[in-house]
Amino acid sequence: MAQCVQSVQEFLQDSFVPMVAVLCSKEADRVSRKNKLSFPELLRPFCRLLSEGHIRDPNNQLQTVKNLRICVNAVTTNPVSSPAVLSPAQYRQLGEVVSSCQPLEGAAATSFKTGDYNLNLSGFSVPLASCFISVTTPWFEAYRENFLQSMPASEHEFLNHYLACLLVVSSTEAVPVEQFLKLSQEQHRIQHSGEYTHPRWFIPNTLKYYVLLHDLSEGDEQRAETVYEDMKQRYGSQGCYLLKINSRAVSAEEDEQIPDPWSQYLHKNNLRYQVSLVIGSLSLRPPEHFCVFLKGGGESSCPNNDPLQLEPDSSSTSLVDADVKKARTDTEGVAPVAVGRGSCLTLNDHDRIRQFVQEFTFRGLLPHIEKNIRQLNDQLVSRKGLSRSLFTATKKWFGGGKAPEKGMSEPKSACGLLYPPEAPELQIRKMADLCFLVQHYELAYSCYHTAKKDFLSDQALLYAAGALEMAAVSAFLQGGGARPYPAHYMDTAIQKYRDDCRNMVLAERCALLSAEILKNQGKYSEAATLLIKMTSEDSDLRSALLLEQAAHCFINMRSPMVRKFAFHMILAGHRFSKAGQRKHALRCYSQAMQVYKDRGWSLAEDHINFTIGRQSFTLGQPESAVTAFRQILNDDSKQTATQQAAFLREYLYVHKSVMGEQVKSLPQLPLPCILSAATRVYFGHEPRLAQGEKQAATHVSLDQEYDPELSAMWSRLEEQLVAAANRGIVPVGFQPTQCCLNSQTDNLRQPLAVLNEPIIVEVTFRNPLKVSLALSELSLLWRFSPHVSSLSIREPVSEQLTGEVIGNEETLTTPHYSMELVVRGRQDLNIQGPRLNQTKEEKMSVRHGTDRRLDAIITPPMPLMEVFFLHFPSALLCGEIRKAYVEFCNVGAVALCGLRVASTHPEFFTFGSTTKSKTSYLIQMMEPRLCNRIFQSPVLITAWKVQSSSVCCYKEVIAC
């Protein structure tokens, strides 16, 4: 499973934290906004307590509260969407949160090997306590945090109901105490008048904490102290606080670099701001709902989504209503990204804000929670007529007694019974939630367990599911092996949320919590099963994220299930694509491709490459798209002709888009396949056909099949000619002339090509598709190196073709060629030499020798001779002598000198004489020079046996 930065205990604690509301006067809001921040935003980075707190339970046992975080929101009275489903704006915000969090560009991927698979997983790498590097998925964590905090308050639980309200007034007010009174009355009206259904409050007697905000840059500090003393007399020293901020003026220029702890929350707050503009919602304040995560000096945020905002009742006149217009005015024309945040604050101001949050929590909030836990415990015990403490309650009480009598007309819902606010069952749940918020998990579990039984007895399904969920979390957080984690509680809660109550939001929350617990216990298989069950058609984004996490569970099992990992990454990529998250879809498909590649699953590879190509092209990565589409048009495609045609159209469209109108360098094309080993190279002109009675010498042509024995015979004759011309010695660097090179010839040396003479390259194509391809305007690309006088022919070019249609095993033999697929491109001729198999090292590995048939050395112009026969007999009698004529024609631009003729059977012919030499194999012609003209000589031919005669002429080797 992808690892999280937080531990599972920290994640569970921070998912449910005490909620605190804020009501500010206009002047206090003005003082806060000098720093481009509202008052709740001002507190945001400092809401994690760095020291421990303490409370006493109903048995007067001291309980420690560690690493506590509070969540501070501005009060909004607008209705929210149903708790059973998120609003479209909330879904849109979650999508933007996921989209904005991507792997770092160019960041090194985490690599690991399992079995014969080498996987590179992109993401963020974090060092864990076990000293290995693991992959995190911050987009999932961001989604989870925003999802948990965007859940609207529900009637069946109290965890996200407000426990306290901060009343903030500026010291510059004419009569600050009157402003406190107005804010207090306003809070009371919002909670108790019945005009507003939101926000929800935890208990009727909400804690009110009075904050006097003093601006040090403009206010009278002595007056602020006086007002604060009066406040302590009225509200008590534990119910009020003097907060001093803005120690420096806005225009002050100091060299000191003040840190900006708000910057990390900016982009998430920005997204909420944009959502509110899109849906035209109106709140009492600009979006200020937030949660703060601080750990060891580090800070991270878990912002809450603002619900849909509606206009409050125009008939009510209050500070809240008056602030509506001000909120609209303040937000109009304000850029989503604020600059200069906290510009009036110094490091001392930061410390004062942090001290204020700590004082409020330790001296106000925790004592208030402790008092309410005691009161609820006393009420429940008195109503049940049992012991004075839940810790000493009897088994009968824990087993649940008869439910209080309820009238037949009690409200019902699709989820079962609805309890009135004063119902004892809800008081138990309320006490359990209070204990959970202050980390008293043992007492919380007892209360949840008791409430669960009552709810199930009354068939109150929604309430029962909530109690089961929190009982399981409380049991896990007790730690120390006090109780095993009741996973079946979570399974039952998810089933009731999803199937009975049709509430996918709560079911998803329950699944997210349970999955983290199961992963912490190493139960990756159970976690993956749970996450897969939560996928559905109602939310592609949720399904994609859960499938991706399930895939990571498979890869993190003790015996990694790599193929299941790849399969679920494919499913996640598909759902990401449907959700509009193209970058995440591309990442999932790319990671899965590492498993499917070169495993023989060609159809799966084709699907993945096709999807990668489309997503890459849509994301503006045409080169990657071309690479992916090229993989589909492979040699062993098992697709149907229709599917191959569709793939080809996609490739051509993307290729054309990449190339554009101006092409600087031709790209590689995958089609058709070139059989490089079958390439043949012919040097020089092909022999002319004879005219009239003349009969041309056959020489060597591309139409002939290669005969190794015949080739060896010509090489021996040429060697004899060279030796005769060199006083009987064969030069050390002698290389037999090879006019036509193929895979069977000796290609270790560079062949010789004569200047101004053609080089014909015969290339064999094969079409691997079931779709016809047309080729035209093919040409050879070559490279000439003057310093070594060598020519390299390696890159045949494919250009736009409209010509003959080629199918499988079609061979093109034209000197110039091109390729017709609507696009221009090239294919390289990479010819491997024969496999080396001499030494042990070569036998143990696959190595190939050098093949230099395409690397010709260009020589200066040379004579070029053609040979024709006249009156050459087609048959002879034994012992018969006939006269024929041979014609030597030099068609080259250089004079031909020293013509010599060699033959395997010189006794069968002679030039211009009846004298036969039986000992010499060489006949020196008497004509000293043959320069661009025809020389004819009579030849006497005799036949003693029926056999063929071969003649070799030098300097040009001619077969006759």
The region of weakest confidence among 306-315, 484-493, 585-594, 877-886 is: 306-315
pLDDT, mean of residues 872-901:
83
Q: Does residue 502 carry a pLDDT above 80?
A: yes
What pLDDT does 211 receive?
Answer: 95
- The whole-chain average pLDDT of the chain stands at 76
What pLDDT does 382 receive?
Answer: 79
Are 93 and 562 spatial neighbours (Cβ–Cβ below 8 Å)?
no
H-assigned helices in 602-640: 602-618, 622-632
What pLDDT does 341 receive?
Answer: 78
Tell me the pairing of strands 240-245 and 207-215. Answer: parallel
Are 246 and 291 spatial neighbours (Cβ–Cβ below 8 Å)?
no
What pLDDT does 632 receive?
Answer: 84
3-state secondary structure of 288: coil
What pLDDT does 122 receive?
Answer: 62
CA distances (Å), origin 425, targets 191, 447, 458, 927: 22, 10, 10, 128
What pLDDT does 902 receive?
Answer: 82
CA distance 657 to 139: 32
pLDDT, mean of residues 124-136:
43
Match 């250009």 to its residue by tokens.
799
CA distance 739 to 751: 9
Q: Does residue 133 carry a pLDDT above 60?
A: no
**Residue positions counted in the chain:** 960
- Neighbouring C-beta atoms of residue 755, cutoff 10 Å: 11
What pLDDT does 110 receive?
Answer: 66
According to DSSP, residue 497 is labeled: I
Q: What is the pLDDT of residues 746-778, one digit of tens each?
A: 888 888 888 888 888 888 888 888 888 877 778
- Neighbouring C-beta atoms of residue 233, cutoff 10 Å: 10
Picking from 368, 517, 381, 510, the residue whose alpha carbon sits closest to that of residue 446 is 381
CA distance 417 to 464: 10
Percent pLDDT > 70 in the chain is 74
- The pLDDT confidence band at residue 125, using thresholds 50, 70 and 90, is very low
The region of weakest confidence among 178-182, 201-205, 300-304, 412-416 is: 300-304
Q: Does residue 577 carry a pLDDT above 90?
A: yes
Higher pLDDT, 742 or 114: 742
What six digits make up the tokens of 1? 């499973």
CA distances (Å), origin 148, targets 17, 163, 453, 543: 11, 18, 26, 16
3-state secondary structure of 769: coil
- The pLDDT confidence band at residue 958, using thresholds 50, 70 and 90, is very low
Query: What radius of gyration, in Å, describes the C-alpha atoms of the chain?
Result: 45
What pLDDT does 3 receive?
Answer: 56
What six digits make up the tokens of 43? 């507190």
Q: Does residue 19 carry a pLDDT above 50?
A: yes
3-state secondary structure of 730: coil
What pLDDT does 954 receive?
Answer: 40
Are 902 and 926 spatial neighbours (Cβ–Cβ below 8 Å)?
no
Exposure letters 375-392 (e unless 16+ CB within 10 A, then b):
ebbeebbeebebeeebee
pLDDT, mean of residues 888-908:
81
Q: What is the pLDDT of residues 375-393, one digit of tens each?
A: 999 888 876 544 434 444 4
- The pLDDT confidence band at residue 554, using thresholds 50, 70 and 90, is very high
Element spanning 783, H or E: strand 773-785
pLDDT, mean of residues 58-84:
86
Q: Does residue 807 carry a pLDDT above 60?
A: no
Q: Does residue 158 carry a pLDDT above 60?
A: yes
- The pLDDT confidence band at residue 794, using thresholds 50, 70 and 90, is low
User: Where is mean pLDDT largest: 268-277, 584-593, 940-949?
Assistant: 584-593
H-assigned helices in 522-581: 524-533, 540-555, 562-578
- The pLDDT confidence band at residue 927, using thresholds 50, 70 and 90, is very low
What pLDDT does 292 receive?
Answer: 34
What six digits make up the tokens of 321? 């209503």
Which backbone phi and psi does 286 adopt, to 5 degrees? -60, 160
Angle among Cα 950, 954, 960 to the nearest 5 degrees reads: 25
Contacts of 636 (CB under 8 A, 6+ apart): 602, 768
Q: Does residue 318 carry a pLDDT above 60?
A: no
What pLDDT does 544 receive?
Answer: 95
What pLDDT does 941 receive?
Answer: 55
What pLDDT does 697 receive?
Answer: 79
CA distance 373 to 437: 11
pLDDT, mean of residues 193-198:
85
pLDDT, mean of residues 299-308:
34
What six digits make up the tokens of 131? 């000293």
What pLDDT does 266 receive?
Answer: 55
What pLDDT does 940 receive?
Answer: 57
List residues bridging with 825 in a β-sheet: 798
Alpha-carbon torsion (76, 82, 85, 87), positive or negative = negative
**Distance of alpha carbon 5 from its chain centroid, rounded?**
20
Q: Which residue type occupies 121?
A: L
CA distances (Å), origin 584, targets 186, 616, 826, 921: 47, 11, 33, 80
Higher pLDDT, 691 or 217: 217
What pLDDT does 4 receive?
Answer: 60
What six digits make up the tokens of 842? 């070569």
What six digits make up the tokens of 524? 């990756």
- The pLDDT confidence band at residue 2, using thresholds 50, 70 and 90, is low
- The pLDDT confidence band at residue 295, using thresholds 50, 70 and 90, is very low
The region of weakest confidence among 413-422, 423-432, 580-589, 918-927 is: 918-927
Q: pTM for the whole thing?
A: 0.75
CA distance 440 to 307: 31
Are 38 and 286 spatial neighbours (Cβ–Cβ below 8 Å)?
yes
Higher pLDDT, 926 or 437: 437
Which backbone phi and psi does 24 adopt, to 5 degrees? -115, 145
CA distance 342 to 355: 17
Q: Does residue 442 carry a pLDDT above 80?
A: yes
Tell me the pairing of strands 740-741 and 680-683. Answer: antiparallel
What pLDDT does 270 receive?
Answer: 47
CA distance 847 to 423: 84
